[in-house]
Amino acid sequence: MKRAFIHGTILTCDAAFRIHRDAVLCTDGETIISVGATMPSGFHPEETIDCTGSILLPGLVNAHVHLGEHLFRGWMDETSFEGLFYSTLFRWESQLSFDDVLCASRCAAAEAAKAGVTAVADLYHHPQATAQALIETGLRGLVGGKILGFALQRPPRQAGGAIDYRFEWEAFREHLDGAEAFADQWHGADAQRITAALCPHATNTLTADMLSQVADRAGRLHLPIHMHLAQMASERETVLERDGIGCVALLDRCGILEQPFLGAHGIFVAPEELYLLERPTATVVHNPIPNAKDAGLIAPMTGYQRAGVRIALGTDAFRMDLLETARFAACIQRTTVQSGTAFPAREVLQWATLGGAAALGLDDRIGSLEPGKAADLVVLKADGVESLSCGDPHTQALYYGSPGLIQSVYVDGRLIVHNGQLQRVDEGDIRRDFADRMTARWSEEGRS
């Protein structure tokens, strides 16, 4: 449908951070055809949307999530993350069914859409279920199955300070072949809105030889690699002891960085390693809220910026509110440099839009509001009591925006949220199914 969005403030989030006030954005079906002061001559919209008092911004890109893990909400919020990881999390994951992941992914995708997220990068078990939930909700996704170096039924054991990873080549090959089978079937699905990645779990949960095999397979299949990177102290210690180098250096040695690469977290990284990620196909995905919440950690984004590394934002297994994540990123990173002018709003918003789009390999298609790009956009109410602000509209969106102010969300010109309501799925059904499954799952766990 041809649409004209009129009278809004348009944050393009393009390379020049252009802003258009009281402007018009026109779409022709799934594509933006103009952004500017007036409508192109001869353009006759079928629908005209008055955006007076609103900000239009590109759909947000959440570049590191595990939608299926939302079934664990509330069970990981106040615990030692390192301890939970090896003793419990893998055991929980081994018990998840396709239907569990589908149910949790539907709930998380619904939350994401209502928060203005139009694309995610997900790595988890049962990726078919995740892809299905994204398609139902109307979102884009870079999706892959988790590749581990051991069998999920025989996860690492932590005895005292040491971790026995119990690596098994047969289990690893099964994970890798499964990931390839997923890519064969789903890459390009739903009119290219679903794409596939290979997703080795982390640098410590696969051996160096296994990581090299993932790199070879990704090269042969022309797939990006999405994984955790230097998330925990035990990850860096394991790699240092086992391979004699840091986590990023290991990925460089194994050929992983030769492929388009998304590395989530990037906390325990030596200063000289940061520069290994300075390449046009690599992105570090900053997940500031779960890092701070789970372990009180802050990734060194100043160092990444100095090294010229591309940055995107993620929410990991926590709330899908990417505006909140961006706001928190700006605040917590300012504390690291003790400056109120570092990390300006327009740059941090760009991490959540164009940076994420580039991480997903989609910056030629989404991530900014420019003619020729897909109509993935968000209409944010900016004249309410919570959001009225006399400052730069980048600061207004970043510091005063929230999911409750998101009026409409479009993906490829398709309306997926209107007046804050999901348009393609029934939120009540999703909520009921999720509540029932969560109750059943955790009453079992409580008895075990």
Q: Give the binding site for Zn ion (CB under 5 A).
A: 316
**DSSP secondary structure letters along 21-55:** EEEEEEEETTEEEEEESSPPTT---SEEEE-TTEE
Smallest distance, Å, CB 399 to Zn ion?
26
C-beta nearest to Zn ion: residue: 316
With contact defined as beta carbons under 8 Å apart, do 157 and 86 qualify? Answer: yes
For Zn ion, which is the closer residue by CB, 273 or 316? 316
CA-based end-to-end distance of the chain: 54
Side by side, the strands of the sheet bearing 225-229 are 225-229, 261-265, 282-286, 310-313
Smallest distance, Å, CB 226 to Zn ion?
10
For Zn ion, which is the closer residue by CB, 76 or 416? 76
Residues 156 and 86: their CA atoms lie apart, in Å, by: 6
Residues 377 and 4: their CA atoms lie apart, in Å, by: 13
Smallest distance, Å, CB 86 to Zn ion?
15
Smallest distance, Å, CB 264 to Zn ion?
5
Smallest distance, Å, CB 60 to Zn ion?
18
For Zn ion, which is the closer residue by CB, 93 or 316? 316
Residues 276 and 278: their CA atoms lie apart, in Å, by: 6
CA angle, 404 as apex, 68 and 19 as ends, to 5°?
A: 105
For Zn ion, which is the closer residue by CB, 213 or 287? 287
DSSP, res 198: B
Q: And the tokens for 313?
A: 């934002």
For Zn ion, which is the closer residue by CB, 314 or 413? 314
DSSP, res 115: T
Smallest distance, Å, CB 93 to Zn ion?
12
For Zn ion, which is the closer residue by CB, 91 or 334? 91
The residue count for the chain: 448
- CA 111 to centroid of chain Cα atoms: 13
